[in-house]
Amino acid sequence: MQTKHLKSKIISEDNSDFLDRLVHQLDKVKHIAESGFWLSTDEIGVLLNLESIFIDTLDLEVNSQTKSYSFFWRNFECVLVDRQLKKGFWEIRNRKQVLQNTNNHQSPENHLSIQDPKPSTINETITLKIPTDAEIIPSPYALIEDFLSPTQLKELLHYSINKQPEFIPTSNSANDPNYRRSFFLSNFPEFSELMIGLIRKIAPQIITHLDIKKFTIGQIESQMTAHNHGNFYKVHNDNGSPDSATRVLTYVYYYHRQPKSFTGGELVIYDSKIENGYSVSAKSHKVIQPTNNTIVFFPSQCMHEVLPVSCPTEYFADSRFTINGWVRHV
C-alpha cells in the first residue's frame, strides 16, 4: 500500500475556543472512523480541513488508478477504498503512533519515530535525533519517505531527464573542481513551486521535531541537481558565508530511475564538538542513503558531504537526481 504521512496544519490562534473546536473536530473524525462511513475526497477535505494542494494530490491518486493508497492525519489513517464515477471514497481508521529506541554506531541514541507500521518495513518516518552525549553533539535530521505521489514522481523524473541541455556544472566560492562536481538547474518553475509549497507547509513541524529555535520563515530556495559518474561534494555547511548566513534548514529530495543504475552518492551528516571555543565536525556521523522519493531535513550549520557516485553507463538519465534547497529566516 502506498502511504502518505500528512501532518495537520499548525494553527496559531489566541481565541479561547480553539481547543473546543479541535476536540469537536476530533470527536467527529473518531465517530466516522468507528461507524465505518465512507467519505468522498471533497468531504474528507472539509472534515480534516485539508489544504487545496493536498486535495489535488489525492485527486491525482484517484485518477492514477493506483491499487491502494492511504495517508495519515493525526492518529488516524485515511484509506482509499473505492472509486465511483471518477470520485474517490475514503475510509478513516484508527492507528497508533510508534515510539522506538534503536542504536546508531554502537552507541545509545533516542529515536522518536512517527510512522506507518508495515510488515518487515519502516515507511513514512519522521525521525528526531536527541543528543545524549555532552561532548559530541549529534546532528539531528528528519526523514520522510514516499514524499511525492507516484504520478508526481513519474512526471518529475521525465521532466528532469528532458531538461538535460539546460543543466550546467556546479561551482563553489573557491572555484575548486576537486571540491565539488555535479550539475544543476536553477530554473524549473513547474516543480520548484510545488516543492517550495510543500516545504513551506511542513517546515514549522520539521523545525519543532529538530528542536530548532522557532523563527519567521522567509525565502525558501530550490535547485535541481544531477550527480553522475565520479561526482561528489566534499565536507561543507550551507550557511558559512555572508550570502548564506540566513539559511536555517536544509532539505534534499532524492529521486532516480528504477532500477537504480548508480551506487554511492550517500549523504553524510557529521556530528559536532567544541574545540578551542569553536564548533567543528566530529568523527561520528550519520549516513543517509539516496532512496527514491525520500526527503531529508537537517540544520544548515551541520557539516555534511556527498560521497562519490559511481554510474557505469554515464547516461544522464541514470543520474542521482535531487531537488535541494534551504529555508531562510527573515
Q: What are the pLDDT digits (tens) for 161-174?
A: 999 999 999 987 66
Whole-model pTM: value is 0.62
Is pLDDT above 80 for 208? yes
Is pLDDT above 90 for 194? yes
Is pLDDT above 50 for 110? no
The whole-number pLDDT of residue 1 equals: 56
CA 66, CA 83: separation in Å to the nearest integer?
Answer: 11
The whole-number pLDDT of residue 123 equals: 37
CA 251, CA 300: separation in Å to the nearest integer?
Answer: 9
The whole-number pLDDT of residue 318 equals: 98
The whole-number pLDDT of residue 75 equals: 81
Rounded mean pLDDT, 251-277: 93
What's the pLDDT band for 207 if we cut at 50, 70, 90?
very high
The whole-number pLDDT of residue 247 equals: 97
- First vs last C-alpha separation in the chain: 40
The whole-number pLDDT of residue 98 equals: 28
For 8-12, 111-115, 236-240, 296-300, which range has the lowest pLDDT when averaged over its residues?
Answer: 111-115
The whole-number pLDDT of residue 173 equals: 63
The whole-number pLDDT of residue 298 equals: 97
The whole-number pLDDT of residue 165 equals: 96
List, for residues 278-296, the tens digit of each pLDDT value: 778 888 999 999 999 999 9
Domains in the chain (CATH in brackets) are 2-94 (no CATH), 130-329 (2.60.120.620)
The whole-number pLDDT of residue 141 equals: 95
For 5-14, 43-52, 228-237, which range has the lowest pLDDT when averaged over its residues?
Answer: 5-14
Choice between 308 and 116, residue whose per-residue pLDDT is larger: 308
For 107-111, 210-214, 230-234, 238-242, which range has the lowest pLDDT when averaged over its residues?
Answer: 107-111
Rounded mean pLDDT, 237-265: 96
The whole-number pLDDT of residue 119 equals: 32
Rounded mean pLDDT, 267-279: 86
Choice between 19 and 216, residue whose per-residue pLDDT is larger: 216
